[in-house]
Amino acid sequence: MTTLLHIDSSVFRGETSSSRSVTAAFRRIWEEQHPGGTVIYRDLAAGPVPHITADAWSAGYAAPSERTREQSAAFAARVKLIEELERADTVLIGAPMYNFSIPSTLKAWLDSVLLLGRTAGEAPSAQGTPVVVVASRGGSYAPGAPRAGFEFVQNYLEAVLEHTLGLDLDFIVPELTMAPRNPAMAELVPLYEASRERAFEEATAKAKELAERLAA
């Protein structure tokens, strides 16, 4: 039985969120391809995980017999998140850009699941697991764009997800999502619409591709 770990972090709900719309499209195709599969869903806006604490951090480097009660409780919460990642055959993450970076709720999740000697290090426990990140943004930060140097979402997630956790990373990037709501961006609406359509096409194609890979 295949397992999808689906994480959303947008503060906006439903179709008002570009990242949620695209992750939902990916998930629909994935579920069609895996009718008997399992979906682990975490909505980090509705149910944020705790930000990392000294107890949760230090417990990862202490022997179980040496942990305080507070450390044990905090570490148990981290282990639950880590085990969800390790169980997954595919990981799907909605990561909108807020103030040039990822939502703090997503950063909190990453801080919990990144554990040296288990999920990170010489042999990461989820190494090779496909992860698809829908990195939506209100403007454009593509190479050559005026604000290309302000792109701290893909660079950061590549460092953490691919180079640290060892996941097999792909990005889907719906951009210019503020164009329909910002009169100053009105001339960019056709580019936004094209980007949105492309994102849905990529989500559909990637979900099918991963289904075929898992079935092989």
Ramachandran class of 121: left when φ > 0, alpha when ψ lies in -120 to 50, beta otherwise: left
Average pLDDT over every residue of 156-171: 98
In this prediction, residue 75 carries a pLDDT of 93
> Contact at 8 Å (CB) between 8 and 19?
yes
59, exposed or middle or buried, with CB in 10 Å at 0-12, 13-18, 19+? buried
Average pLDDT over every residue of 112-127: 96
- Edge-first strand order for the sheet with 38-43 is 38-43, 3-8, 90-94, 130-134, 168-172
pLDDT at 14 > cutoff 90: no
User: What is the CB neighbour count within 10 angstroms for residue 99?
Assistant: 9
In this prediction, residue 16 carries a pLDDT of 87
In this prediction, residue 43 carries a pLDDT of 98
Q: Which long-range contacts (CB under 8 A, 24 or more apart) does 196-200 make?
A: 196/18, 198/174, 199/18, 199/22, 199/134, 199/136, 199/172, 199/173, 199/174, 200/21, 200/22, 200/25
In this prediction the pTM is: 0.95
Distance CA(171)–CA(93), nearest Å, equals: 10
> Contact at 8 Å (CB) between 29 and 207?
yes
pLDDT at 1 > cutoff 80: no
Which helix (H) or strand (E) segment holds residue 38: the answer is strand 38-43
pLDDT at 71 > cutoff 80: yes
212, exposed or middle or buried, with CB in 10 Å at 0-12, 13-18, 19+? exposed
Average pLDDT over every residue of 42-64: 93
User: Which one, of 150, 152, 134, 153, lies nearest residue 196 by Cα?
Assistant: 134
pLDDT per position as a tens digit, 191-216:
999 999 999 999 999 999 998 888 77
Mean pLDDT of the residues in the chain: 94
Distance CA(45)–CA(208), nearest Å, equals: 28
H helical segments located in 35-92: 54-59, 69-87
